[in-house]
Amino acid sequence: MGSGARHDAKFGMTNPTSAGAAAGHGARTSGYVGRLAPSPTGALHLGNARTFLLAWLAARSRGGTLRLRIEDIDGPRIQAGAAAATLDDLRWLGLDWDGEVWVQSQRLPVYADAVARLFAAGHLYPCVCTRAEIDRAASAPHGPEDDGPVYPGTCRGRFPSLAAARAATGREPALRFGVAAAALPFVDGCAGPQAGILRGDFVVQKRDGGPAYQLAVVVDDHAQGITEVVRADDLLPSTPRQLALYRALGLQPPAFRHVPLVVGGDGLRLAKRHGDTSLRHLRAQGVAAAAVVGHLGWLAGLVPRGTSCLPADLLPGFAFERLPAGPVRGDEHGLLG
């Protein structure tokens, strides 16, 4: 495991601004390695743009390295052109990253190898249950509805091998991780001490042989040498599962920092129904990148509302402690006329 990132000309691998970043935002002298991990399932909007800005600020303020990886293993939900559009939006905002862009769909053998190791060590079992949760497993679960009910363990101990499961049922099995611990407590950099409850056995490989999000994210965060994961706090419940995988694979987990979500006026995760906050739309309306960055900085508690600035202008006063504690209400107000 570890190598296997392939160059993909489609996404313009060589980030034109990363050389400038090394010079402009401090030499990468620290051991900090962060990452941006967009899923190309739709347009980048103010909510995920703020999370990416925070991950960028975390890395650059520490003189660290920032990796970028496209999480495109979720076949049906991937939108053509969304990966390139996301990279374009990130560059437009003035965010940069270091080294090549990794693309998960090009690393399938690496995930299969990790699954084989987990299977050989007795952590996995074939599961022939036809649950929607298995089909959704390639996506990061952004809410209980993505995750479904706790798996009751129906197939646990039922089949000695994939072949036996196929022969007995005529179905193509998924592979589930058998959770051994009730909880894996951890301290989150933003959310504080967490009980780390593990919600039942979870899928690591879908029926079609493709990896689940939980598996791919662990393999890649390790392979990219990530020391801290900065992401939105709707993924907090996934972290104990990822810790269980690190443990089973004998790998050192990164630190985790889950930032509060940006929500709409109704308190729900920012979405289309709150108005079009996609960067695409804002750009098309003639909103300047500096206005969007300032708005995101305001949503992060870093600058007053109405500020226009570059990402680097937010570095001097940057601290996660300045983030508003709860969900932040974000809209396009003040950005569109």
**By CB under 6 A, what part of segment 39-58 binds ligand GLU?**
39
Q: Are 175 and 134 in contact (CB under 8 A)?
A: no
Q: Which member of 5, 37, 282, 292 binds ligand GLU (CB under 6 A)?
A: 37
Stretch that binds ligand GLU, among 31-39, 95-103, 171-179, 181-189 (CB under 6 A): 31-39
* Nearer residue to ligand GLU within complex by CB, 143 or 317: 143
Q: Are 69 and 224 in contact (CB under 8 A)?
A: yes
Closest approach of ligand GLU to the CB of residue 155, in Å: 27
Stretch that binds ligand GLU, among 25-33, 34-42, 160-168, 326-334 (CB under 6 A): 34-42
Give which of 271, 192, 221, 38 is closest to 114, Cα–Cα: 221
Helix, strand, coil percent values for the chain (each to nearest 5): 40, 15, 45
* Nearer residue to ligand GLU within complex by CB, 78 or 128: 78
Tokens of 198: 């593990």
Closest approach of ligand GLU to the CB of residue 303, in Å: 25
Size of the site for ligand GLU (CB under 6 A): 8
Stretch that binds ligand GLU, among 33-41, 159-167, 277-285, 304-312 (CB under 6 A): 33-41
Pairing of strands 328-329, 262-263: parallel
* Nearer residue to ligand GLU within complex by CB, 123 or 231: 231
* DSSP H stretches of helix in 149-308: 162-169, 213-223, 239-249, 279-284, 289-299
Pairing of strands 186-188, 33-36: unpaired
Closest approach of ligand GLU to the CB of residue 39, in Å: 4
- Please list the residues that pair with 21 across neighbouring strands: none
Tokens of 32: 């900090």
From first CA to last CA, the distance across the chain in angstroms is 50
* Signed CA dihedral, 279, 285, 287, 292: sign only: negative
**By CB under 6 A, what part of segment 233-262 binds ligand GLU?**
235
**By CB under 6 A, what part of segment 70-99 binds ligand GLU?**
71
Q: Which member of 67, 107, 206, 231 binds ligand GLU (CB under 6 A)?
A: 231
Closest approach of ligand GLU to the CB of residue 321, in Å: 22
Closest approach of ligand GLU to the CB of residue 105, in Å: 13
* Nearer residue to ligand GLU within complex by CB, 136 or 231: 231
Pairing of strands 202-205, 174-177: antiparallel
* Nearer residue to ligand GLU within complex by CB, 37 or 58: 37
* Signed CA dihedral, 154, 159, 160, 163: sign only: negative
Coil, strand, or helix at residue 119? helix
**By CB under 6 A, what part of segment 137-196 binds ligand GLU?**
140
* Nearer residue to ligand GLU within complex by CB, 53 or 165: 53
* Signed CA dihedral, 111, 107, 82, 288: sign only: positive
* Nearer residue to ligand GLU within complex by CB, 44 or 309: 44
Q: Per rule CB under 6 A, is residue 38 in the interface with ligand GLU?
A: yes
What's the CA angle centered on 49, arms 187 and 83, to 5 degrees? 110
Task: Name the residues that contact ligand GLU, by CB under 6 A.
Answer: 37-39, 71, 140, 217, 231, 235
